[in-house]
């Protein structure tokens, strides 16, 4: 008897755990399903001058020494077939392109150094970005894209 009375006196306050755990698991499942690892994107920042609609491309006043013309020729299936730096064909050797660009700007490319990328219509964009990465690595800040490929 004594024991039972003692138990009745102890009014136990119990926290209701079940609803909280329910909500916690709901949240957990929501975050699990919406979880997605996205690769970090890189960017190639390009600055292109705006043009008036319909107007011909205006030639800016720059000395030829500061602009290098890089032509990218497309091969079968839009693959990169040939790189022509100014008039020198170097095949698809990106290291050669890097060396030529370094040689084209003695003393390092300055703020005004530009590389004009002239890619064929059929060339896949991935190859253009690969070349643009190499150009940026050589220290050139400005990349231009020509409005239409020059035909040879």
Partner 1 sequence: MRFRSGHIAVCETEMTPMIDMAFQLISFFMFVMNFSTELVQEEVELPVSQLASPVLTSKEEPIVLNLDADGTVFLPGQTINIADPNGLARLNSYLHQEAALARLRLKARGLPPDTPLPSTVIVRADRATPFELVRILLRACREAGFSNYSLRAQTQPQNQQGG
User: Which residues sit at the interface with partner 1, rule CB under 8 A?
Assistant: 3, 7, 17, 20-21, 24-25, 27-28, 31-32, 34-35, 38-53, 78, 119-126, 128-130, 132-134, 136-137, 145, 147-148
Kindly tell me the burial class for residue 82, based on how many C-beta atoms sit within 10 Å of its own C-beta (0-12, 13-18, 19 or more).
Answer: middle
Distance of closest approach, residue 92 Cβ to partner 1, in angstroms: 16
> Which is closer to partner 1, CB of 45 or CB of 76?
45
> Which is closer to partner 1, CB of 64 or CB of 125?
125
> Which is closer to partner 1, CB of 111 or CB of 121?
121
CB-facing half-sphere around the CA of 99: CA atoms within 13 A: 6
Distance of closest approach, residue 15 Cβ to partner 1, in angstroms: 9
- DSSP, collapsed to helix, strand or coil, labels residue 48 as coil
Kindly tell me the burial class for residue 56, based on how many C-beta atoms sit within 10 Å of its own C-beta (0-12, 13-18, 19 or more).
Answer: exposed
Q: How far apart are CA 127 and CA 74, in angstroms?
A: 10
> Which is closer to partner 1, CB of 38 or CB of 152?
38
């Amino acid at each position: 008897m004594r024991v039972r009375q003692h138990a009745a006196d102890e009014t136990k306050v119990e926290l209701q755990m079940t609803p909280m755990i329910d909500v916690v698991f709901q949240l957990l499942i929501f975050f699990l399903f919406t979880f997605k690892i996205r690769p970090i994107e890189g960017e190639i920042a390009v600055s292109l001058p705006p043009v008036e609609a319909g107007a011909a491309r205006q030639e800016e006043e720059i000395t030829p020494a500061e602009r290098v013309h890089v032509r990218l020729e497309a091969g079968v299936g839009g693959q990169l077939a040939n790189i022509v730096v100014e008039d020198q064909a170097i095949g698809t050797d990106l290291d050669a392109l890097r060396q030529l660009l370094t040689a084209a700007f003695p003393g390092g490319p300055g703020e005004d150094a530009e590389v004009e990328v002239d890619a064929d219509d059929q060339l896949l964009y991935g190859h253009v970005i690969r070349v643009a990465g190499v150009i940026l690595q050589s220290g050139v800040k400005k990349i231009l894209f020509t409005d239409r490929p020059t035909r040879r």
